[in-house]
């Protein structure tokens, strides 16, 4: 059974609940509904809300008679939790209820540097898809996806499986962008947020809003390693479980029931 001392279960999306930019599977949807019947359920990702719509919501299928209960327990945290979306049971739509803006001047500088960095082609950046798809302005976060957001999954999986390239990119960029937080996410991505903001900060903002503490949360993610964008919750002291991918996540959830 789920640890009854935990009031909220939080999952990373890409690489944890689904493969990069792919839909969650039917079995995953069923298991997440099982959790949301009895617990608060938070999904956090470096992706924008539009990515949640394409990747998660389109395949998340609670039974009609359970929708209100399950949606009221579900909280979506795009762009590493710098925005929060909750379901309005009256309007029957997702409403943004929190936002952490990226300061304008820092954002402009970061975009310019990342665009110039991408044009160099170092580390194989842009080898599959060139242009704006590599550097993406996600309003509260900027993401650099080395092969492009819509590159084929097969190309993404072999480009940097041990994160070695992105660790070097991260070091290089941190020297010229000391005013931002840079973390490794997905299979080809660096997520850039205001200094001090990361998934732990996004999750703690949610816990504060719910009147909970970090002891009330369990977090599951695939990038729980130094420099990974799922590492900060573990560092913050939130109980965390590392998964190797969606199939492993399904096995972990099944152990709770």
Q: Which domains are delineated in the chain? A: 8-100+197-255 (3.40.50.1000), 104-194 (3.30.1240.20)
According to the model, what pLDDT value does residue 177 have? 96
According to the model, what pLDDT value does residue 133 have? 78
Query: Quick one: how far is CA 74 from the chain centroid?
Result: 15
pLDDT(28) > 90: yes
pLDDT(1) > 90: no
Q: pLDDT band at residue 4, thresholds of 50, 70 and 90? A: low
The arithmetic mean of pLDDT across residues 21-47, rounded, is 95
According to the model, what pLDDT value does residue 186 have? 82
The per-residue pLDDT for range 126-139, each reduced to its tens digit, is 776 655 579 999 88
According to the model, what pLDDT value does residue 65 have? 94
The per-residue pLDDT for range 180-216, each reduced to its tens digit, is 999 998 889 999 999 989 999 999 999 999 999 999 9
Non-local (6+) Cβ contacts of 201 within 8 A are 81, 100, 232
According to the model, what pLDDT value does residue 20 have? 83
Percentage above 70 pLDDT, the chain:
96
Percentage above 90 pLDDT, the chain:
80
Mean pLDDT of the chain: 92
According to the model, what pLDDT value does residue 132 have? 54
Give the residue carrying structure tokens 């803006």. Answer: 101
Q: pLDDT band at residue 219, thresholds of 50, 70 and 90? A: very high
According to the model, what pLDDT value does residue 179 have? 94
What's the per-residue H, E or C state across the chain? CCCCCCCEEEEECECCCECCCCCCCHHHHHHHHHHHCCCEEEEECCCCHHHHHHHHHCCCCCCHHHHHHHHHHEEEECHHHCEEEEEECCCCEEEEEEECCCCHHHHHHHHHHHHHHHHCCHHHCCCCCCCCCCEEECCCCEEEECCCCCCCHHHHHHHCCCCHHHHHHHHHHHHHCCCEEEEEECCCEEEEEECCCCHHHHHHHHHHHHCCCHHHEEEEECCCCCCECCHHHHHHCCEEEECCCHHHHHHHHHHCC
């Amino acid at each position: 059974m789920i640890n009854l001392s935990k009031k909220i279960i939080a999952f990373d999306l890409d690489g944890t609940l689904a493969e990069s930019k792919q839909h969650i599977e039917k079995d995953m949807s069923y298991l997440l509904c099982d959790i949301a019947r009895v617990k608060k359920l938070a999904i956090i990702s470096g992706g924008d809300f539009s990515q949640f719509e394409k990747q998660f919501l389109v395949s998340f299928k609670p039974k009609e008679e359970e929708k209100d209960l399950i949606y009221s327990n579900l909280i979506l945290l795009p762009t590493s939790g710098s925005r929060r979306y909750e379901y309005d049971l009256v309007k029957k739509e997702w409403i943004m209820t929190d936002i952490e803006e990226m300061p304008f001047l820092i954002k402009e500088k970061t975009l310019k540097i990342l665009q110039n960095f991408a044009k160099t082609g170092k580390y194989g950046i842009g080898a599959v898809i060139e242009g704006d798809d590599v550097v993406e302005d996600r309003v509260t976060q900027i993401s650099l996806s080395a092969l492009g957001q819509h590159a084929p999954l097969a190309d993404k999986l072999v480009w940097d499986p041990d994160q070695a390239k992105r660790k070097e990119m991260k070091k290089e960029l941190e020297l010229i962008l000391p005013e931002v937080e840079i973390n490794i996410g997905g299979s080809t991505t660096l997520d850039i947020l205001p200094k001090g903001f990361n998934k732990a900060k996004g999750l703690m903002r949610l816990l504060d809003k719910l009147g909970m503490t970090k002891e009330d949360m369990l977090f599951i993610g695939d990038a729980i390693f130094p420099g990974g964008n799922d590492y900060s919750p573990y560092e913050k002291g939130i109980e965390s479980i590392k998964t190797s991918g969606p199939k492993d996540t399904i096995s972990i959830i099944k152990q709770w029931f």
